[in-house]
Amino acid sequence: MATQIYQAIVDGILVGGVYALMAVGLTLIFGVLDIINIAQGILVVLGGYLSYSLSARLNIGLFLGLLITVPAMFVLGVAIQVAFIRPLRGRERTSMTLLVTYAVALIIEGVLYRIYGPDDKQLTASYVTNSVHVLGFYLPYIYLLGFGLAVVLVVALYLLLYRTRFGRSVRAGWG
């Protein structure tokens, strides 16, 4: 019983690292840009489906596929910003931004449903289903890889924001 509790704690910490990375992204969107982007969540889902497609149809590994997925999602985010959010000005910007990003989310969701249907999709890779036994715990490779990647990205973002001229200019908009 106690082992199961400890296993759940370890799993929670590993998954929590990935959630922390997502929270950092939301903080940047909401804090720096001062935009409430309802489409943020569906963009994460879209990135997941893009990774799935790269893996299932082109046999590109999930982590290698990030080299395609991350830039693609960046370009899409910039396109949404330029096409839909930037033109909004004035007092009504917040409420209009909510409506526009909600509409974008609904459109993306509809397209995903049309392409992939309502059924769950399963990612296949050896590190998705395998685990390593350490100190009495079974640690799934995917949790370890996700946690490690999240730590690296959060540290890189910290260094970018607090150790570069670009970061100082971004943070100047916070105050």
Structure tokens at 74: 């960046």
pLDDT more than 90, % of the chain: 38
Task: Return d(Cα 26, Cα 137) in angstroms, integer.
Answer: 32
- Is residue 173 pLDDT above 70, yes or no? no
Q: Tokens 């200019």 correspond to what residue?
A: 169
Which among 69, 70, 97, 68 has a CA at the least distance from the CA of 81? 97
Could you report the per-residue pLDDT of 77-130, keeping only the tens digit for each?
999 989 988 888 766 777 888 899 999 999 999 999 999 999 988 877 777 788
- Is residue 74 pLDDT above 60, yes or no? yes
Task: Return d(Cα 20, Cα 37) in angstroms, integer.
Answer: 18
Task: Return d(Cα 57, Cα 166) in angstroms, integer.
Answer: 38
Q: How many CB atoms lie within 10 A of CB 75?
A: 10
Q: Which residue has the higher pLDDT, 73 or 10?
A: 73
pLDDT band at 73 (very low <50, low <70, confident <90, very high): very high
pLDDT more than 70, % of the chain: 94
Structure tokens at 134: 């350490």
Q: How many CB atoms lie within 10 A of CB 30?
A: 13
Could you report the per-residue pLDDT of 16-48, keeping only the tens digit for each?
988 998 888 878 777 766 677 788 889 989 999
Element (H, E) at 140: strand 137-140
The DSSP-derived string for 104-127 is HHHHHHHHHHHHH-SS------HH
Q: Which residues share a beta bridge with 137?
A: 134
Q: Which residue has the higher pLDDT, 154 or 92?
A: 154
For 132, the 3-state DSSP assignment is strand
